[in-house]
Amino acid sequence: MGKNIIYPYITFTQFVDEPNLKRLALFFDNIYIAEERFGIISGINSSTLKQEYQSLLYEKSVWDYLREQGIVKTYSFPYSENILSESNEAKILEEQMLELMKNMNTNKTKSSTTKNTDLDKIERMNSFYTSHDICVRFDALRLRKDNLSEYYPLLRTNSSIIQKEKKSEVIQFLLNDIPEPDFNTPWEQIIDFRTDENVKNKYLALMNWVNKVASTTTTSLSDVKEEYEYLYSEYIKHFKLHKMKYNNTLLEVVVNASTAILLALQTGDFVSTFKNLFQLNSTHANLLSEEGKLPGKEVAYIYHTKGKFS
């Protein structure tokens, strides 16, 4: 079952969200954004764009590329009243939004008659982010309704959280352990990592573990964290030993194969050389197979993600 994140896209004067998007791309199958949120960025024109907003052209090119690569997907659907009658969470979210709009209007009136303070600005900004959070939570409920995939809203504040779900907490806990690639990490490197078959198998093993621990009702989140730390520690220990064996074994095979090639050039016995080369490929495959059996393999994906992007 695919795991997707719903992203509350906001256009800033600079593309400050790119490192976080790279981190999300390392953990989720897709990043979903409401189509209407792309209205500003998709409609920009280089010939009419003011100088101070030229950086938006780079941002637009990144979004276009990510959509072409299938990492970012968009959705669009009209507001549905049905979800309010079917979901208690949706009702609470609607009440939150109405209360938020009421407070924002009250504060707007107050600000127009008094001098704005830094505290007022912070409050308005927090309300702005909270409204976006409520919207993506609504969208997550609607997307989950008619789809087998899982959708998790990315929240910029904590004030719009309605209830704690164990699986969401596990997902958030693991996401916090995924490294955030820097600005200079090319998207091509992220995509190559995501599409590597060996890496994909590790990712599937991690998601399988998430599904298991989240479905166990008697296990608390603190228990899950302790199990994760134990598995991670076990994997590091055994992987380092495995890597030593891997390097030593391949070195031995390569040396033998090189010696056989030199002898073949002298004697003409190339059959033995091909046998040695076949042994090299076979040994490599066996060592990769052994790696998949190491203790703690369930969380190996995070270890290798850290090794690649930390």
**Is there a domain that residue 250 lies in?**
yes
Total of domains in the chain: 2
Q: Is there a single domain that holds both residue 25 and residue 151?
A: yes
Would you say residue 146 lies in a domain? yes
Identify whether 86 is part of a domain.
no
Q: Are residues 241 and 209 in the same domain?
A: no
The pLDDT value given to residue 160? 53
What span, in angstroms and rounded, lies between the C-alpha atoms of 78 and 92? 19
- 43 and 157 in a single domain? The answer is yes
Residue ranges of the chain whose pLDDT lies below 50 = 270-271
Q: 215, 239, 265 — which closes off a domain?
A: 215
Q: What is residue 33's DSSP assignment?
A: E
User: 52 and 143: one domain?
Assistant: yes
The pair of structure tokens assigned to 268 is: 């003409």
Each residue of 199-243: pLDDT tens digit? 999 999 999 999 999 988 788 889 999 999 999 999 998 888 777
- Does a structural domain hold residue 44? yes
- Looking at residue 308, what is its pLDDT? 93
pLDDT of 9 reads: 86
Last-in-domain residue among 215, 245, 276: 215
Q: Which two structure tokens, joined as six digits, stand for 256?
A: 């033998």
Q: Write down the pLDDT at residue 142.
A: 85
- Taking the model in full, what pTM does it have? 0.80
Do 285 and 185 fall into the same domain?
no
Amino acid 98 reads: L
The pLDDT value given to residue 6: 93
Whole-number pLDDT of residue 250:
55
Look at residue 84 in the predicted model and tell me its pLDDT: 58
Query: Which pLDDT score, from 0 to 100, does residue 108 have?
Result: 62
- Do residue 302 and residue 153 come from a single domain? no
Is 259 in the same domain as 193?
Answer: no
In a domain, 96, yes or no: no
The pLDDT of residue 88 is: 79
For residues 204 and 233, state if they share a domain.
no
Q: Which of 179, 195, 215 is the last residue of a domain?
A: 215
What pLDDT is recorded for position 192? 95
Co-location of 151 and 63 in the same domain: yes
Query: What is the rounded distance in angstroms from the CA atom of residue 87 to the CA atom of residue 75?
Result: 21
Reading the block at residue 153, the tokens are 């809203």
Structural domain of residue 198, as residue ranges? 3-77+136-215
